[in-house]
Amino acid sequence: MRVLFFGDIVGRAGRDALMARLPGLMTELQPDFIVVNAENAAGGFGLTQEIASDLFKAGVDCLTLGNHSWDQRTLLTQIDAEPRILRPINYPPGTPGRGAQVYTKGGKKLLVVNVMGRLFMDPLDDPFRTVDAELAKHRLGGSVDGILIDVHAEASSEKMALGYHLDGRVSFVVGTHTHVPSADGRILPKGTAYQTDAGMCGDYNSIIGMKAEPAVARFVRKLPGERLTPAEGDGTICGALVTLGANGLAESIRPVRRGPGLLEA
């Protein structure tokens, strides 16, 4: 089985770049499932059902979120009816939406879990125990053919700790949130593919996808300023392709980076 993942879509530049390249990538990489983090898809802040629908039509199977899940408030009332959108599973009970879902396609089943880290972030429920509890309901290579965990977190140490904690029990642990692709894709000792951050889909001539000048000013001047808005140059998409064996563990991981600015892969 082949699973293709892309990191945080930031604004129109990211959406356009992803939509434009998906048809070619589907031919080239033959993914069974496409999962994309979309927490910044709507003007850099959150996700709307309209944008989600466009992405689903383009071939995306599941959209994950993060700390920007609810920046577009309309999603709060729509997410329960949309099983293809996941918000972090470790929000408190009663939070709209779901944090894990099994997707079935072409006879194959993929469990996707979206979870948020806590180091330097909002103190949600324990990501380690929450994911463990979800995994207890499934069997990799049995009830599901693959398991992908999107760890939306700031600290590399926490992401790696979750990677090792889950090693041998899931197919792929991939980080999001820093908006920077890491060049550390690898297979951990017990067979789980791991990459600290998928990187963003957006205009890399920017500060994490947002126009540079106001973002710099925030650090330098410490004054309330213009609202940050997404950079509008050509977008580059960043992610990874993982191939799984029959047991659901990873056989390979390779980066996928397409577009201007970065070294393509």
Contact between 67 and 39 under an 8 Å Cβ cutoff? The reply is yes
Kind of pairing, strands 237-244 and 2-6? Answer: antiparallel
State the DSSP code for 8: -
Q: Which of Fe ion, its own copies, none lies near 106, with the C-beta cut-off 5 to 8 A by kind?
A: none
Q: Is the dihedral of CA 247, 249, 254, 257 positive or negative?
A: positive
Closest CA relative to residue 132, chosen from 146, 157, 113, 145: 113
Residues that bind Fe ion (CB under 5 A): 8, 39-40, 66-67, 177
Closest CA relative to residue 33, chosen from 11, 63, 65: 63
Cα distance between residue 76 and residue 135, in whole Å: 26
First to last CA, the chain: 20
Radius of gyration of the chain (CA): 17
- Residue 8 annotated as part of some ligand binding site: yes
Q: Which of its own copies, Fe ion, none lies near 44, with the C-beta cut-off 5 to 8 A by kind?
A: none
The distance of closest approach from Cβ of residue 49 to its own copies in the complex, given in angstroms and rounded to an integer, is 17
- Residue 37 annotated as part of some ligand binding site: no
Q: Which of Fe ion, its own copies, none lies near 184, with the C-beta cut-off 5 to 8 A by kind?
A: its own copies
Per annotation, catalytic residue among 15, 21, 68, 87: 68
- Residue 184 annotated as part of some ligand binding site: no
Q: Which of Fe ion, its own copies, none lies near 66, with the C-beta cut-off 5 to 8 A by kind?
A: Fe ion
- Residue 40 annotated as part of some ligand binding site: yes
The distance of closest approach from Cβ of residue 219 to its own copies in the complex, given in angstroms and rounded to an integer, is 5
- Residue 177 annotated as part of some ligand binding site: yes
Nearer to its own copies, 24 or 225 (CB): 225
Cα distance between residue 118 and residue 113, in whole Å: 16
Q: Which of its own copies, Fe ion, none lies near 67, with the C-beta cut-off 5 to 8 A by kind?
A: Fe ion
Residues that bind its own copies (CB under 8 A): 70-71, 73, 76, 91-96, 118-120, 122-126, 128-129, 154-158, 160-162, 164-165, 178-186, 188-189, 196-197, 199, 204-208, 212-213, 215-216, 218-224, 238, 254-255, 257, 261-263, 265
Nearer to its own copies, 14 or 181 (CB): 181
**Residue 68 appears among annotated catalytic residues:** yes
Strand pairing partners for 116? 152
Nearer to its own copies, 169 or 179 (CB): 179
Letter string b/e over residues 39-63, b meaning 16 or more CB atoms within 10 A of that residue's CB: bbbbbbbbbbbebbeebbebbbbbb
Which residue is associated with the tokens 């213009």?
226
Q: Binding site membership: which residues? A: 8, 39-40, 67, 152, 177, 179
Active-site positions read 68
